[in-house]
Amino acid sequence: MLKRLLFVVVIAYGAYATYTSRPVEHNPGILVKDAPNQREIVATPFTHKGYQVTPLAEFSLEARILGTERYSLGRESDLSPVDLALGWGPMSDSAVISQLSINQSGRFYHWSTPRLPIPKQAISSHSANMHMVPADTQIEKALKNLREGEIVRLAGYLIRADAADGWHWVSSLTRDDSGNGACELVWVKEISRRTATL
């Protein structure tokens, strides 16, 4: 009897985990019209987890989540346990996204397609892989609970992080670059879904 109950609990948990982590589906159409907002600032550095963090710009955006990836290895994971691949404008449209194969690995976001649904430059300038640096444990938990397809709002800073031994990690300050160093390093102090505050 106990084995049967345990079996039912395991199956129920597996079904729940699958249900709550499945991608959120949307009908075709642009879901997020506006590009991220950014304003460069001069701000006082502060210490976080032994690193000196310097805000470079105020930053906020609403975007569709194209993918999420957690990291626990490597120095970067001390600061950023989660990367989000985010899209806005045409890259929030299911009609476009459904024609792309999207994945994340090694702190990068990759896409491929046998046939471009929109110009390559439009894909690059309306999407980005962003390294999330949560301001506290509540923000970290919220970031880790996000699902592909959700519309998320984030606010905080684009930052530079420096260690005492000379190691550093610097955010990109433009959405028009690509390749190594092109990702945003985002200090997240506010986060919400479009339908519910986290």
SS3 readout for 71-132? CCCCCHHHHCCEEEEEECHHHHCHHHHCCCEEEEECCEEEEECCCCCCCHHHHHHCEEEEEE
Kindly state whether residue 2 falls inside one of the protein's structural domains: no
Q: What is the pTM of this model?
A: 0.85
Closest by Cα among 116, 135, 134, 136 to 124? 116
For residue 87, is pLDDT > 70? Answer: yes
The predicted model gives 7-30 an average pLDDT of 58
Structural domain of 52 = 27-193
Report the alpha-carbon distance of residue 175 to residue 194 in Å, rounded.
22
Q: 3-class SS at 144?
A: helix
User: What is the domain-level CATH number for residue 127?
Assistant: 2.40.50.140
Decide if 57 contacts 144 (C-beta within 8 A): no
Kindly state whether residue 78 falls inside one of the protein's structural domains: yes
> What percentage of the chain has pLDDT greater than the value 90?
78
For residue 58, is pLDDT > 50? Answer: yes
Question: How many structural domains compose the chain?
Answer: 1
- Which pLDDT value is given to residue 15? 34
Kindly state whether residue 145 falls inside one of the protein's structural domains: yes
Residue 29 backbone dihedrals phi, psi, to 5 degrees:
130, 150
Kindly state whether residue 79 falls inside one of the protein's structural domains: yes
- Which pLDDT value is given to residue 127? 97
Kindly state whether residue 154 falls inside one of the protein's structural domains: yes
For residue 32, is pLDDT > 70? Answer: yes
